[in-house]
Every structure is written in C-alpha cells, then in structure tokens.
Structure 1
C-alpha cells in the first residue's frame, strides 16, 4: 500500500525537502512532534538528511492554538522546491481552510508531491479532494465530522496511516510515531531507534495502534464486562441498543448491568449512554453544517424537541445557541466543496484562546 523508500540511502543523496503548511490555530505540539525527529535525524547521522520550511498562505505570522505567534519562513506561493508537504491543523479547522489553501494543495499534488497532515490537517487535504480513495487518520474529535463531510475518504481510528503517497496522523504526539516510521523507511530502523532513545521515548507506536485512550483508563477501572458494554454503546450511537439487549450481549442480567454502572461510574447505564450521544451531538454541531434535526437523528434521537431538552439539561444551553457560539451556521457553505470555502480571520492570541475554549473538548469532562 505504501511507496516510501526503505533501507539506508546513498551518502550523496540530496536532503529531502519538507514544507509544513501552518493553518490558523494549528496545534504546536503536533508541529514539534513532526519536526523534532527530522532535526535529530540530521544530528545523529552527521548529515543533512532532511530540510524543512514553515509556510503560511501569505507568509504572514500565524497563531498557534495556545496563543503563541509563529513567523513562517515563506509564503506557500514562494516556497522552495518541496518533496513533501505536511498540513498542520488544529482548532476550528473548518474555519481556517480557504480556497487558496485548496488550490495550492491541488497544484502540489499535480506535481506528484508526497502529501501529509497532522492533527486535523487531514481536513484540508480532504477539502481539496486529495484523500478520496485513501485511508486517513485525523484527531479523534474531528473523526465524526469528517465521516459525515467526506464519504469518499476511508476514515480510520488508527494513530496514523501511511497509504501510498499520503500519510496522515492524529494529534498530540502521534506525529512523532509517524515520522519515526517514515525515517525508518528512508534511512533504516537503527536511526529511528536512536532518535527514540534521545527523546526518552520508550516505545515507537505503529500503524495498528489506535488513538483513543483505552477504556480501562477512561473509565478508571479494568472491569471487563463494563468495558465491553461501553464499547458497544460507543459503536451504536445512531441506533442505541436497548439495555436488556446489552445485558444479553455481555451475558449479565439487567440488574447486574445497573449495578456495574452504579458501582464504577456512579450513574445509570441509560444516563451514561445518553451522555455519549450528547457529546457526539456537540461535536457535530460545532464541526459540521448538519441541521439540528440531522444531528439529533444520527445521535439516536427520534424527536428533535426531546433532543433539545436533553441537550439543554446536560450542557446548560440549547443546541441552536451552541451553533451560534461556534459560528457554524455562518460556515454552512464551507463544507466540503472547495469553491465554497471562506476564511474567518483571527485578530490575535486571545482570539485563538477563545476559540480553543469554545471547542467541544472543553465540555467533554464535567468537573
């Protein structure tokens, strides 16, 4: 499936040139996780194996999601000749991809560039139609939105995905694992292992690793029946499974099912199931132009008024206010067609931080 070079490379081979396209509100940890392995590869080999350039649409400064301001090396239109382009996404990806980004990425693809993305950067490649027919990874919080917006892209829950001349990863430190695998293919496993050791990185995760934290850590318990039940719930949000059926699936009684949830999660199974569906609904409201009726339907609610009532009770605001707060209603035309993409400019670090605080992550955990 993949076509990256493997094994040691000739001493006289020119360094690979990589361009990092930084979108507004990109996540700094993902950029650093992708760049640092390249730096260390050069340092440990004593040769310039990789050369990298940071790019923005116009060469102007860009804000990271944590409010830090980054000065790029160049405008994407004045970039040096590149072998590989990696799109760095982050918060509010649907509002930061523009027609100009899409057009430029398409032109680079026509020149047979290797294309990659980290965190939510896969959204930009998908908007350009450059992931149609490819396997793709993206940060798990953007996964549902991409599945709805880009049905031709084979979305995966894997940590990262290498598919022919496309490579995509989820967020956080996942790009580190992906880049170590690419370095291993380019220059051998010994170099990637040495880089891992320098970073005090105990285990290089592979393509088969999934990005979500294991349920036993999320739930705070290793109770196997409970983990199995919650996994079934997460896999069946659009058509919720009746609790009696859930009990049959995992070979416990309805009463035992109730006791498991009360003992370990301090709530009823129906309440927990409802929470999962509402969190998914919030992600879709913030990240897609789907109507409230559509969101209610794909999250297992047969009645929109009932959905709105449950949503207000859990999050404290009705679904329509959630959408107004994230400006999604103004962005309906953005998805997924490139010709309709527009730009929402940011004014500074407080804008970046404000958008970060409005993301669904910040209401996924109730304290």
Structure 2
C-alpha cells in the first residue's frame, strides 16, 4: 500500500473532517462500520479527533438497502470543507441513476486537498468518474470481475481495503471498520485503534491485504489438498475449461480418484461442478455488465450462443436473455 499524507498524519489538535455520501439503497452495515469507529475514537480519547457529515445528492433522507432511512446533514452543493469524502455505495451496485453524482465527483478531483474513498460499491462510482485510473482499488468480491473488465486501467484487488495515495476503497460490510481503524491507527496510534476495536468486540484489526472471502477449503467444506487444488484450477480456467482428464493430470491423481473425491466431499462429479461454476460466473456477468450475451457465453467457456442459452435455461429456469430482461424490469 502507498499511504497518503492523510493516512500517515500524526496526532493533531485539529479534527479531521470526513464526509459520507449516501447513495439510494446504500449498505447500512458498510456505512455504520465506517462512521462508528470515528465516533468511538472521540469517545475513547476524550478529544474531538473527527467530525463527520452525512450527505445525499439533494439533502433529503436516503433509504438503505434494508429499508431503514437515514436523515443527512446536507446536500452535495452545500458540503463544508472536508479532508476525505467516502461514497457509500448501493447494494447491489447501481449502474444508472447517479450521473449527477458522478459529474460532481469529477469536479472534486481538482481539489487536491480532499481524499476520495469508496465503501463497497461506492468504488464503482469513483471508477465511473475516472478517479481510479492507475490506482489500486477494491470493491465487494461479487463485483470484482465486472470492475476489472469495465475499468482495465484500475488495479483491482480482492483485498479487504486499499489505500493508494489519496484514494481509499474497501470491500464494504465490516471491512469498512478495518479500514477506518487502520486510518485511526495512522492518525493517532495503534493503542487508540486497538481500544476502539475492543469496544466493538472485534477479535482483531484485519490488515488491508487480508482476502475478502473465506479460503476455498472453508467454502467447499473440506481441506483435502487435491480437491482444493482441482477447484482452484476450475475457478482459474472459466473461459477455457479443462477436461476432467486434464484436471486429474495437473492435480496428480487418476481421473477415477478425482471423481471419487468430488463425490465424497461435494456430492457431485467434476464436470457437473465445473459447469455450475461457469454458469454462476455467466449469471454474474449478465447481471453486472453490458457485455453481449454471446460474449458472456464465450467468456464462460460456451462455444456457441445456442449451447449457452440451452444450458443456462436448464440450470436457472430462464434463458440468458430473460435473465437480463428481468433485471432491466426490476430497475
């Protein structure tokens, strides 16, 4: 990580001013995980170390993804001077309807005194505004693939959070707390950050480099090294799938032994499990990108559009075209 001056600032008598821009359908857990450590820093230290302001585009209350509304302090065109502004993104990501906010963010880039951050899918809006080009950044794991594809000039990681110069991004959820505790530690010392963590009954302050998702062996429910290796190969070769024989060869077991491992631990066979992974990736791309349906199929290892459509419908009960249309109707 390249730590900006704001992140590395020493203890000061002047409070830092952080703003939180709440988008419609924003993640309440991401927002609270970010703002609560700042409040607690003031309470534990007995000093006014941070001042926060909540913002919406028009200054009106904003409904979160769980339906709870939050009253904000001000509108975009009335915000006071800030040291950092964090965009708290929608859940799921909002790909339209925030054009005015994106234009406003572009203007803020001219202000070199303000750091810009994204919490969860807030990173997507920063990318849309061209503010993450050449920067390391992260976003919720569900949106990593689409962010990489749509914004190839952004160095997208799967880390909990990234701090690169004056860009602060995190994957959302409780990772926002880890990012804020990291910043508090840089501003006012690790002892204060640890005391805040204890107040929130956090087992530890996770470093930014920690991965967002649980290790594969946890997700698939087994630590069998050969099986983990095989699934890892599958996940890394979605566009050009490997045959079961190839998987067995690379893992160093016989085909029959590999099939027994999948049957015993995953209640499936390698080909079926692999197909499910590819279809889940296809569904993700259909929902999160504007890629042509045929291109989505090719990206997930389907040689023809008809094969992709038939297989997708058999698995999900709708065709890829119907899947995308349903998403558009919901919007």
Band the TM-score falls in, shorter-chain normalisation: over 0.9
Aligned to 1:202: 203
Cross-structure match for 1:213: 214
Structure 2: which 5+ runs fail to align?
Answer: none
1:118-137 counterparts in 2 under 5 A? Answer: 118-137=119-138
Residue 8 of structure 2 corresponds to 6
Please identify, of 67-76 and 254-263, the stretch whose mean Cα deviation from structure 2 is larger.
67-76
**C-alpha offsets along residues 106-137 of structure 1, whole Å, 9 cap, x if unaligned?**
11121111011111110000000000000111
Moved more, 94-103 or 64-73: 94-103
Q: Distance in 1 between matches of 2:229 and 2:322?
A: 35
1 CA distance for matches of 2:96 and 2:178? 26
Query: Are residues 1:160 and 2:143 paired?
Result: no
Q: Which has the higher contact order (CA 8 A, sep 6+)?
A: 1
SS in 1 for 2:148: helix
The 5-angstrom pairing of residues 318-329 of structure 1 reads 318-327=319-328
Name 1:43's counterpart in structure 2.
43
CA distance, structure 1, for counterparts of residue 223 and residue 41 of structure 2: 39
User: What's the CA shift string for 1:138-180, capped at 9, x where partnerless?
Assistant: 0011111111111111111111111111111102211111111
Give the aligned CA root-mean-square deviation in angstroms. 1.4
Return the alpha-carbon distance in structure 2 between the equivalents of residues 295 and 143 of structure 1: 16
Q: Aligned equivalents of 1:54 and 1:97: distance in 2?
A: 20
Equivalent-residue separation in structure 2 for 1:155 and 1:7 (angstroms): 26
Instruction: Show the counterpart of 1:225.
Output: 226
Where 1:93 maps in the other structure, the secondary structure is coil
Q: How far is 1:303 from its partner?
A: 1.1
Instruction: Work out the CA distance in 2 between the residues paired with 1:273 and 1:312.
Output: 17
**Does 1:29 find its partner at 2:13?**
no
Counterpart CA distance in 2 for 1:190 and 1:3 is 21
Alpha-carbon spacing, 1:64–1:300, altered in 2? closer, same or farther (3 Å): same
Distance 1:116 1:96 in 2: 20
Measure how far apart 1:91 and its partner are.
2.1
Q: Contact (CA 8 Å) 1:7, 1:184: kept in 2 or not?
A: no
C-alpha displacement of 1:96: 4.7
- Partner SS for 1:18: strand
Compared with structure 1, are the counterparts of its residues 97 and 231 closer, same or farther at alpha carbon in structure 2 (3 Å cutoff)? Answer: farther
Q: Quote the offset at 1:7 in angstroms.
A: 6.5
* Correspondence for 1:66: 66
2:272 is the counterpart of 1:249: no
Aligned counterpart, 1:281: 282
Q: Which moved more, 1:129-138 or 1:142-151?
A: 142-151
Q: What secondary structure is seen at the aligned counterpart in 1 of 2:117?
A: strand
| Maintained 8 Å contact 1:6/1:188 | no
1:338 aligns with none
Give me the TM-score of the superposition, normalised by structure 1.
Answer: 0.86
1:105 corresponding residue in structure 2: 105
Equivalent residues in 2 for 1:338-357, closer than 5 Å: none
Whole-angstrom distance in 1 between the partners of 2:9 and 2:110:
27
User: How many residues are aligned here?
Assistant: 328
Deviations 1:305-340 (A, max 9, x none): 111111111111111111011118xxxxxxxxxxxx
TM score, norm. by length of structure 2: 0.96
Conserved in 2, the CA contact under 8 Å of 1:94 and 1:287? no
User: Equivalent residue of 1:87, what SS?
Assistant: strand
Establish whether residue 188 from structure 1 lines up as the match of residue 207 from structure 2.
no
